[in-house]
Amino acid sequence: MALGSAHSALTLDRGDACAPRSRGEDRITPPLAFTPALRREMEPLYERVKHVVTPMEWVHYAPIIKAINELKRERNAVILAHNYMTPEIFHCVGDFRGDSLQLAKEAARTEASVIVQAGVHFMAETSKLLNPDKTVLIPDPLAGCSLAASITPEDVRALRVAYPGVPIVTYVNTSAAVKAECDICCTSSNAVKIVESLGAPRVLLIPDEYLAKYVQTKTKVEIIAWKGHCEVHERFTGEEMEAMRAAEPGLKIIAHPECPPDVINAADFTGSTAAMIDWVKTKRPPKVVLVTECSMASNVAAETPDVEFVRPCNLCPHMKRISLEKIYEALLYNRYEVTVDPTVAEKARRAVERMVEASV
């Protein structure tokens, strides 16, 4: 589903500003200056990112980080930060950090009144499904996902007709309207478990073809795939992996299951973003490449200065729409609120809740 497409069941409330906007709509006035006192106060947070954020960058980030953390307290808000956020967001304003499954579980548990999703739109929708009475904000409503855009509810209904009686598992990277047509959700960290939990000989696993192919290598259940791809991970190639291995003796290659099969075949380990991080933190390889979105290596590097990261990584243009400034404005102006049509939400929520229950 493309944002704003005819299939979209969501509406984006662009929110009236809680405070009047100053001149220059798209520019915010820095809420605080980088004084010596502020520098000292923010020192503990800088400690967290000093290996990956330069002192010059910190002069720009520190005032807005302080302003965001104050606004969070005032508004009883939490920020759910995906592993692909940049380090100043991930380590300095994120209250909960993790992969899609971890963030969905935190969204289900939180007592906060406002959830700011530092991630892409389908993640914010998932948080809204699990918190229908809370305000869920996405700092940039155009933060989409090529996988979510690759399939519509009509496509899923056509699959039901083409494969009668075959359960449909949807990767969480889909719109609420697509989830509403499916039996259960999965993420990259629980896909095998979810597929096997259904007790069926054949399962449709949509929309990521490569995740489906990867799951097929781990289960005897017959997997039927859709042709969706992640625009970030599909660009990696097996030849690229072999070239890196040849150039970097001792290199460990860690891949996300959204990568093509030849990349996964060349990898030492494959797992969700959280599983990739755990692998690096536990094994502490001297040299590693995380075959996934760029920012994740920076986030792990901030905590593992002893590990050298080789970085032929790709940026996700959707994740990179989220910035400190937009998070600040989201909290200040209560925008952009994510809403889901109640009829769609009820069905989609069932698919997400089934996943959360099956993956405890």
**Cβ proximity of 59 and 38 under 8 Å:** no
* Distance in angstroms (rounded) separating the CA atoms of residues 43 and 92: 11
Residue among 175, 188, 216, 359 that touches ligand 13P (CB under 6 A):
188
280: partner contacted, choices ligand 13P, ligand SF4, none (Cβ within 5-8 A by kind): none
Which CB, 112 or 118, lies closer to ligand SF4?
Answer: 118
- Collapse the DSSP code of 341 into the 3-class scheme (helix H, G, I; strand E, B; otherwise coil) and give the result: coil
Which CB, 229 or 335, lies closer to ligand 13P?
Answer: 229
For 131, residues 6+ apart whose C-beta sits below 8 A from its C-beta are 107, 108, 110, 115
Which CB, 207 or 285, lies closer to ligand SF4?
Answer: 207
Residue numbers at the binding site for ligand SF4 (CB under 6 A) = 120, 145-147, 173, 230-232, 258, 293, 316, 318-319
Which CB, 175 or 273, lies closer to ligand 13P?
Answer: 273
100: partner contacted, choices ligand SF4, ligand 13P, none (Cβ within 5-8 A by kind): ligand 13P
How many positions of this chain bind ligand 13P (CB under 6 A)?
10
* Torsion of the alpha carbons at 53, 123, 4 and 317, rounded to the nearest 10: 30
Least CB distance to ligand SF4 at residue 143 (A): 8
Please give the residues from 134 up to 173 whose contact with ligand 13P meets the rule CB under 6 A: 173
* Distance in angstroms (rounded) separating the CA atoms of residues 307 and 173: 30
231: partner contacted, choices ligand SF4, ligand 13P, none (Cβ within 5-8 A by kind): ligand SF4
Please give the residues from 265 up to 324 whose contact with ligand 13P meets the rule CB under 6 A: 272-273
318: partner contacted, choices ligand SF4, ligand 13P, none (Cβ within 5-8 A by kind): ligand SF4
| DSSP bridge pairs for 334 | none
For 51, residues 6+ apart whose C-beta sits below 8 A from its C-beta are 301, 302, 305
Which strands form 252-255's sheet, in the order they lie side by side?
269-270, 252-255, 287-291, 308-310
The residue with tokens 């089934």 is: 354
Percent helix / strand / coil, the chain, rounded to 5: 45, 15, 40
CA angle 171, 172, 176 (to 5 degrees): 115
Determine if 197 is a binding residue for ligand 13P (CB under 6 A). no
How long a stretch of residues is the chain? Answer: 360
Determine if 182 is a binding residue for ligand 13P (CB under 6 A). no
Which CB, 100 or 197, lies closer to ligand SF4?
Answer: 100
* Distance in angstroms (rounded) separating the CA atoms of residues 79 and 72: 8
**Cβ proximity of 99 and 187 under 8 Å:** yes
Residue among 151, 221, 230, 302 that touches ligand 13P (CB under 6 A):
230
Which CB, 101 or 319, lies closer to ligand SF4?
Answer: 319
146: partner contacted, choices ligand 13P, ligand SF4, none (Cβ within 5-8 A by kind): ligand SF4
* Distance in angstroms (rounded) separating the CA atoms of residues 115 and 143: 16
188: partner contacted, choices ligand 13P, ligand SF4, none (Cβ within 5-8 A by kind): ligand 13P
Binding interface with ligand 13P (CB under 6 A): 83, 99-100, 173, 187-188, 230, 258, 272-273
